Each structure stands twice: as C-alpha cells, then as structure tokens.
Amino acid sequence: MSDAIAHFLDIVRRQREQPGPGLIGRLVRDHGTELTDTQIAGLADGLWTGGLESTASAIALGGHLLATDLAAAGVLRRGGRDDVDGWVEELLRYSSVVQVAFPRVALTEAELGGEQILAGVLVVCSLSAANRDARFGDSAPHFMPDRGPRSHLAFGHGLHRCIGAELARVELRTALHRLAVRFPRLRAAEPCRVTGAQLSFIYGLPAVPVLLDGG
C-alpha cells in the first residue's frame, strides 16, 4: 500500500505540471488549489484499492463456487435476470469479501447488542458476522442463490457505504455469468487446494485451480 501511495504521489506531482484526461487530472484542474498532493493521491489510491482487490476477490470466490457447487452453477447458467442478480447478491453476502467496515468513532455513548459503547471509542463492525446474522436462520452459513431478496452488509452502510457498489454488481454479474456459460463443465481441479489470502482484510483466494472442460 505504501508503494501504491508513492506511485500515485508521483503521478499527481507530474500532473500538477500537465493535467491528464483522467480522474487525477480532473481533480488537479477542478480542485487543485483546495487539495494537497497527498489528498489527491489518497483519493486515487482509495478508488484503486477499493475497486480492484475487492471485485477481483469476489470473482475468484464466485469462480470457486461455480467449480465446486454444481447445483448453484446451474442456477447461474440459466441466466434469467433474477437468477443472475440473486446469485451475485448471495455471493456478496456469503463471501463478505471486505470483512470489516471502515472503523467509526462513537460520537455519543450508546448501547448496541447489549454492549455499552463509550463516546470517543473506535468501533469496528464485522461485516462477515453481520452477513451471517441469526435473522438469516439456520441457512446463514450456506450458499443459497435462490434465497430471494434479502438485505446484506457486504458494501457497508451509511455515509461511507461503498461508492462502487453498482459498478461491482455489474462486473460480477457479467464476469460470473459469462464464465458459467462459456465453461459449462468447469470443475475444481483435484485435489483442490484453496488457501485464503494472507495479510489483507479482504478475503480472497490467491489461486483457484480448475479444469475448464471438466477433465
């Protein structure tokens, strides 16, 4: 992440001289006097980190489900709008790729879930736990693409709710539906060894070994 910030700072400094056609150039042109280099680099980094690893990880986890849960793969392959949308919403809930929301600071004292929260303390909400809340019933730990409309917290909540949520949905619907249709015999390679990503608060799979034609 430090390397990424340094990379964006370098671009911002160059675009102070000659603003490019993209987001950084536009921020320099329209808000260059109000924002420091570090702030513009931070905004660019937020979009880049927020938009890349999260969606890439969700696609990898969806691909793994396609290769291992053949009944679920069949629902996605049917390809009706409700099938695809429901599949992706359930994937977002079930995989909860961004495990925690951004930390919040309690402005006032409050009681939440039987816990006393003092004013000024840092509060971190586990999105993966919220997405397996008891209100989902016994089926919470299971992937059920035909679960029907249910709200989830995969994109967080409130003022800082994910700004890229709709883009992410379009990307996931397109990528996973096309993968299911293009490779109807997609299967996990045996033995399927899948390990979670290390050193990241985003839950991802560094590799998903599959056989494209079912082997």
Q: Which residues bind ligand HEM (CB under 6 A)?
A: 46-47, 50-51, 54-55, 58, 97-98, 101-102, 127, 154-158, 160-164, 167-168
- Cβ contacts of residue 33 below 8 Å, gap of 6+? none
CB of 154 to ligand HEM, least distance (A): 5
Q: How far apart are CA 117 and CA 82, in angstroms?
A: 40
CB of 214 to ligand HEM, least distance (A): 28
In the bound state with ligand HEM, the residue whose beta carbon lies nearer, of 11 and 97, is 97
CB of 200 to ligand HEM, least distance (A): 13
In the bound state with ligand HEM, the residue whose beta carbon lies nearer, of 28 and 61, is 61
Q: How far apart are CA 125 and CA 156, in angstroms?
A: 9
> CA angle, corner 16, sides to 14 and 22, nearest 5?
80
How many residues are listed for the chain in this entry? 215
CB of 185 to ligand HEM, least distance (A): 26
In the bound state with ligand HEM, the residue whose beta carbon lies nearer, of 15 and 54, is 54
Strand partners for 202: 98
Amino acid identity, position 101? A
CB of 131 to ligand HEM, least distance (A): 10
Q: Which two tokens stand for residue 194?
A: 């899948």
Q: How far apart are CA 20 and CA 26, in angstroms?
A: 7
Whether the Cβ atoms of residue 63 and residue 187 lie closer than 8 Å to each other: no
In the bound state with ligand HEM, the residue whose beta carbon lies nearer, of 46 and 184, is 46
In the bound state with ligand HEM, the residue whose beta carbon lies nearer, of 46 and 79, is 46
